[in-house]
Amino acid sequence: MTSYTYERGFRLKIISLLLDSSWIATYGTLVKPEYFEQEDEEKITAAILAYRITYNKLPRDPDDIIVLCGAEYALTVSKIFDIYECGDNALASDKAIQFAKEQAAKIAILESVDDVEKGEFDAPIKRMEEVIKIGQSMISPGIDPIRDVDKWLYSYWNAKVRTGLYHLDTLLDGGLGVPELGLILAPPNRGKSMTLISIGYGAASIGSGKNVVHFTHEMSIEQVAKRYAARIAFKFPSREDNLSIYEDELLEQARKLVPGNIRIIGGAQRMTTSDFEGHMDRLLEEGFKPDLIIDDYPDLIIPPKSYHERRFELSAIYEWLRSMSDKYQCPIWGATQGNRDSLSKEIITMAYIAEDIGKAAIADVIVALCQTYEEEQMDQCRLFIAKLRDGSKKTNLIACKFYSDCQAIITTDFIHMKDEKNA
């Protein structure tokens, strides 16, 4: 990218763009006061933006801006209004995005000095990623749902990845899409990981044949591999088994049932957001294009930014995770834990999410795994659709068979809530 020298007069032209309603309609959030190193330019930019926010219109009288920013800036204000009335701002309009990027980059570099000296690189990387995004959302004017039907209709359906849980896929109109985040909600040790294994298997198996990336933070990659093997071969290997025979059976079943590919990453360790993206980028470089991402416990990801309260960190993690669906163009399933009260509930709703209810607002789909003691003895459970942003809402409860020995959940029927004892 060619770097330009933005002299005083040209910078004033960029500020004068804030008085142009047609330019503001497209680029309103682009130019910020902190991008100007001269005090008067920063003050006047802030005053123009404050006027617009307060009165929901652009200032037309220079005296109003002088009142807001101070009489000592009257000459600069008059100059800016003169430039605006002249109307010769074509070049300034063309270079405004680049100006904003370059100024934001300078700020990001200065703010990152202390982090780099401490050996902390996540924050500087995130700052520069935000710089790169400047102006990107303004390049496209959006789509017309009728004239641009070819731009959204087919891609919307093609991006759906089925879970393999028939009744859930029915409610999701074919599965989870892009950019969507789905969460499995359940109390501790109640089947969240098993449900995610079933979803990963369903995406990679016959009928879909998708590429699945499974991130694990709770278990070793060997433990997760063993669970996928159990789902494919219908049984866990044991010490007493002839493991060579088990291997042959597993490979034979996989050839028949799993045309897709599954890649497990992690291994019972905490991971930064940069680590996560680094793994994804490396897979792409190797030629492995993921169709579905599974993360077994997003709460354990180190957030992109530190906060004083854990709930804000969790919201940041889930907002970031949902953005990964858009970045890598594949849906994401994760798991979140229910609080202590959820252990005794027959129906687990969003209200029982542990630590941060903000997850509920961020996720597109929340599926609660509900199981009483009696159901556990009969290898049964229910899936309660606690949240569904898009899809069929005919019912929100699904009966299932629950086979922990082979890591399989099989949906069997829809249940009406009125049939539930404690609905």
Instruction: Kindly list the domain boundaries of the chain, sorted by start residue.
Output: 8-139, 154-419
Is beta strand 211-216 parallel, antiparallel or unpaired with respect to 292-295?
A: parallel
Q: pLDDT at residue 73 above 90?
A: yes
Render 250-317 in DSSP notation, one character per residue.
HHHHHHHH--SEEEEEE-S--EEHHHHHHHHHHHHHTT---SEEEES-GGGEEPSS--SSHHHHHHHH
* Angstrom distance (rounded) from CA 100 to CA 135: 8
DSSP 220: -
Per CATH, the number for 154-419 is: 3.40.50.300
* CA–CA distance, 194 with 177 (Å, rounded to integer): 21
Q: How many CB atoms lie under 10 A from the CB of residue 118? A: 9
Structure tokens at 277: 């993206």
Cβ atoms of 294 and 200 closer than 8 Å: yes
- Mean pLDDT of all residues in 78-98: 84
pLDDT digits (tens, 9 = 90+) for 184-208: 999 988 899 999 999 999 999 998 9
pLDDT in tens, 293-319: 999 999 999 887 777 888 888 888 999
One CATH from 3.40.50, 1.10.3470, 1.10.1660, 1.10.860 for 8-139: 1.10.860
Residue 96: per-residue pLDDT: 86
**Identical fold, 8-139 and 154-419:** no
Residue 138 has pLDDT above 70, yes or no: no
- Asked whether the beta carbons of 319 and 362 are under 8 A apart, the reply is yes
Residues 364-421 have pLDDT tens digits of 999 999 999 999 999 999 999 999 987 666 678 999 999 998 999 999 999 976 544 4
Torsions phi, psi of 192, nearest 5?
Answer: -65, -50
| CA–CA gap between residue 313 and residue 320 (Å, rounded) | 11
